Amino acid sequence: MDAIVSWLTSLFPHMAAPIARLIVHLVYAAILSFVAPVVVVVAFTYMERKVIARIQDRVGPNRAGPLGLLQGFADAVKMLTKEDITPVGADRIVYNLAPGLAVVGTILVYAVLPVAPGVIGADLNIGILYVVAVGGFGMLAAVMAGWSSNNKYALLSAFRVVAQLIAYEIPMVIAIIMVVLAAGSMQMGQIIDAQNVPFLFTLPVAFFIFFVATIAEIGRSPFDLLEAESEIVAGFHVEYSGFKFALFFIGEYMHLFVGAGLGTTLFLGGWRGPGASEATILGVLLGFVYFLVKTVFLIFLMMWVRGTFPRIRIDHLLDFGWKFLVPVGLLALVAVALVLKLPFLSSSVLKWVGMLVANIVVVVVSLTAVSFAARRSRSVALRGVAGTER
Amino acid sequence: MLSDFTFVGILVLIAVLLPVVGLGLSWLIRPKKPNPVKQSTYECGIETIGDTWVQFRAQYYIYALVFVVFDIEAVFLLPWAVAYDQLPLYALTEAVIFVLILALALVYAWRKGALRWS
Amino acid sequence: MPVDQIVKTVVFVIFTVMTLGGGLGVVVSPRIFHSALFLVLSFAGVVGYYVLLDAGFLAAVQLLIYIGAIAILILFAIMLSRGLMAERQSQSNQQWWIAALVALLIFVVLAAVLWRVDWPVASQQALASPSNAISQEGSQLGRDLLGPYVIPFEVASVLLLVALIGAVILARETES
């Protein structure tokens, strides 16, 4: 960013630095608001359909354009030309505000996503906290949409959305706190700088929690109770049609990409890789490629999960969040904090090993606890069936 | 210019244009033929029965309450995590006490069945 | 920098309109759900104030706690109370003037306090190079929380525990 600003000022000597900065900001904001949604939605709906189709032994889209590559554009045209329906009894103002809030709230997260060396909208010193905070808008949009649609299913879905999001936001924040603890900063740039060894290898528990929580926050299968077709029709946006529905859809895929992008930044070292640097254009491009490869890999993992696991029941979903991820996260947090203060772990290599060991211990302890609890509840259930309670 | 947040402000202004422009564009080209059946509430084709705003279970509210408590806890822990490097050893014990008290809260809610979906 | 000042003033006015307008909306809106949404708008205005004051951490916390958690809690409470939802009801009754009087009184008291307190003013030097202070904000906060303010820090966790226990007890009573 700074490099582009200085390049602009050298190109136009009369231009003042703040003006150049403003122009760069405007252009980048426009890219994030208009180019990114189109690219992300077209690319990843196509990828999703192909991947899921292959998992289910189908071919996937293959009619629109070569290999079905134009399917996304066909869908976009269709969305734009569909009639817009507002159901009777809907609260018009809230009903129309909700889709916009959903998509704008998601785009706002991109402001702190470092996509390449030096390319970040605003490297805020509270970076990762900003992400969590702005995430609240999505929840608000769901509640507004569900309430204003005047539809029982939409309202029920809105409740489910909130119950699910709040159950998985806490574990996600705990995972983030672990990263902040290891990096010593909330700033995205510094978190990437701290990953000489990606946190995936030193904080695997945090990565697991973050990954699961991200899937749940986006509301993808197996955590797609908010739009469980067989139970509540389509979710809080059941009454939306045409472009307003498209806005929710865009928001969902933008959220998918930014969720995976944050996972990349926090745990896979972001844009780091051999040859990536802020100094040259080639280095920046390389960094962007590394970022994309890692992010697409994470998205592929999410699609794989979607294609493999069945939807889980709401009580299981809430239990998994509150009674498994939260305790495990707190345990891992304390363990990592302990390791970082051990006096004999003086060098950074020893600290990495120590964190890894702490994580493994936490995994073993929590799995043992779970299997113990499962065995006990099973034996209780069996005794209940046999009617031989003592 | 002003601060790091300038870009966030610019992004809000530009991002709002996406729904506005998109809706405007689709308003120009989409058909507008409303009729009462089309605009009725969609509940799988079955006639809607009763009011939409029916009573929901209070369970949801308890989850939200527990969430607020843990959210605030997280906010307290973040500055601790940032400064952890520069803090002496007692920072560990203090944070552990803090986490333990909240773990106690979780255990209490758990034991009392506030986290049970019945 | 006059341009800077103008932009700051305009932004300040926008946030003030959001905060005060949202507050007014809460009071006069005939539907209680709309009142809650106006409350969110008002909270969002306060977020803007914190940003203007270069208190990024507080802004994010305001957003996270007040909009992300408390507003959602309020919306939940409203959505769960049947009867409050569908009908429109007037927000005022015969006692509105008493409420207005009390509000005015509180305003006078707060304004007086604001006016009389000798607020510490940062030195020109610190204002000139704020970036230094800002980048340290999070870590400074952490050091203060666990240094001079460690007792409030721990008491906060006890307070949260008590709040949770109270909430669970209240909720269970209403259920049975």
- Compute CA distances A64 → A33, A39, A69, A75, A253, whole Å: 26, 17, 7, 10, 21
| Pairwise CA distance, residues C73 & C171, whole Å | 14
Domain boundary among A61, A81, A101: A81
Say if residue A31 is in the same domain as residue A115.
Answer: no
| Pairwise CA distance, residues C137 & C59, whole Å | 12
B76·C161 Cβ contact <8 A? no
pLDDT at position A58: 84
Say if residue A268 is in the same domain as residue A362.
Answer: yes
pLDDT at position B46: 59
- Kindly state the average pLDDT of the residues C104-109: 94
Q: Quote the tokens at residue B54.
A: 């029916």
Q: The domain B6-111 belongs to what CATH superfamily?
A: NADH:ubiquinone/plastoquinone oxidoreductase, chain 3 (1.20.58.1610)
pLDDT at position A106: 92
Instruction: With respect to residue C6, please indicate whether it lies within any of the assigned structural domains.
Output: yes
Instruction: With respect to residue C72, please indicate whether it lies within any of the assigned structural domains.
Output: yes
Say if residue C138 is in the same domain as residue C84.
Answer: no
Say if residue A65 is in the same domain as residue A91.
Answer: no
Instruction: With respect to residue C35, please indicate whether it lies within any of the assigned structural domains.
Output: yes
Say if residue A149 is in the same domain as residue A278.
Answer: yes
Say if residue A76 is in the same domain as residue A95.
Answer: no
Domain boundary among A43, A62, A81: A81
pLDDT at position A146: 82
C86·B51 Cβ contact <8 A? yes
pLDDT at position C21: 94
State whether residue C138 sits within 8 Å of chain A by CB. Answer: yes
Instruction: With respect to residue C64, please indicate whether it lies within any of the assigned structural domains.
Output: yes
What CATH number has the domain bearing residue C24?
1.20.120.1200
Domain count, chain A: 2
- Kindly state the average pLDDT of the residues C30-48: 89
- Could you give phi then psi for residue A119, rounded to 5 degrees? -100, 100
Of B2, B61, B109, nearest to C8 by CB-CB distance is B2
Q: For chain A, which chains pass the contact test of at least 3 CB pairs under 8 Å?
A: B, C
Say if residue A240 is in the same domain as residue A281.
Answer: yes
Of A130, A158, A185, nearest to C60 by CB-CB distance is A130
Asked whether the beta carbons of B98 and B77 are under 8 A apart, the reply is: yes
Q: What is the share, in percent, of chain C residues with pLDDT greater than 70? A: 80
pLDDT at position A267: 92
pLDDT at position A231: 59
Q: Which residues of chain A have pLDDT under 70?
A: 225-234, 384-390
Given a cut of 80, whether residue C116 has pLDDT beyond it is yes
pLDDT at position B79: 86
| Pairwise CA distance, residues A142 & A163, whole Å | 12
Query: Which chain A residue is nearest to residue B117, measuring alpha carbons?
Result: A315
Say if residue C82 is in the same domain as residue C145.
Answer: no
- Count of CA atoms in the C-beta half-sphere (13 A) of C170: 10
C111 pLDDT tier (thresholds 50, 70, 90): very high
Instruction: With respect to residue C98, please indicate whether it lies within any of the assigned structural domains.
Output: no
| Pairwise CA distance, residues B32 & A65, whole Å | 30
Say if residue C2 is in the same domain as residue C78.
Answer: yes
| Pairwise CA distance, residues B7 & A198, whole Å | 28
Q: Quote the tokens at residue A381.
A: 């259930």
C146·B83 Cβ contact <8 A? yes
Which has more confidence, B28 or A204? Answer: A204
Predicted-complex ipTM score? 0.85
Three-class SS of residue A116?
strand
Domain boundary among C90, C112, C142: C90
Instruction: With respect to residue C110, please indicate whether it lies within any of the assigned structural domains.
Output: no
Q: Which domain holds residue A195?
A: 82-386
| Pairwise CA distance, residues A94 & A85, whole Å | 15
Given a cut of 70, whether residue B16 has pLDDT beyond it is yes
C61·A133 Cβ contact <8 A? yes
pLDDT at position A172: 92
C55 pLDDT tier (thresholds 50, 70, 90): confident
Domain count, chain C: 2
Instruction: With respect to residue C162, please indicate whether it lies within any of the assigned structural domains.
Output: yes
Domain boundary among C73, C90, C107: C90
Q: Which domain holds residue C28?
A: 1-90
Instruction: With respect to residue C54, please indicate whether it lies within any of the assigned structural domains.
Output: yes
- Compute CA distances A31 → A35, A104, A110, A111, C31, whole Å: 5, 14, 11, 11, 39
- Interface probe with B: pick from A27, A28, A83, A190, most Cβ of B within 10 Å: A83
Say if residue A200 is in the same domain as residue A299.
Answer: yes
Domain boundary among A51, A81, A111: A81
Sequence-ordered list of residues with C-beta below 8 angstroms from that of C173, at least 6 positions apart, any chain: none
pLDDT at position C82: 58
Say if residue A67 is in the same domain as residue A206.
Answer: no
Q: What is the share, in percent, of chain C residues with pLDDT greater than 90? A: 19
- Kindly state the average pLDDT of the residues C101-110: 94
pLDDT at position A206: 92
pLDDT at position A252: 87
- Which residues in chain A touch residue B115, judged by CB atoms under 8 angstroms apart? 318-319, 322-323
C43 pLDDT tier (thresholds 50, 70, 90): very high
C-alpha C131 chain-centroid distance = 25
- Could you give phi then psi for residue A212, rounded to 5 degrees? -65, -45
Say if residue A201 is in the same domain as residue A290.
Answer: yes
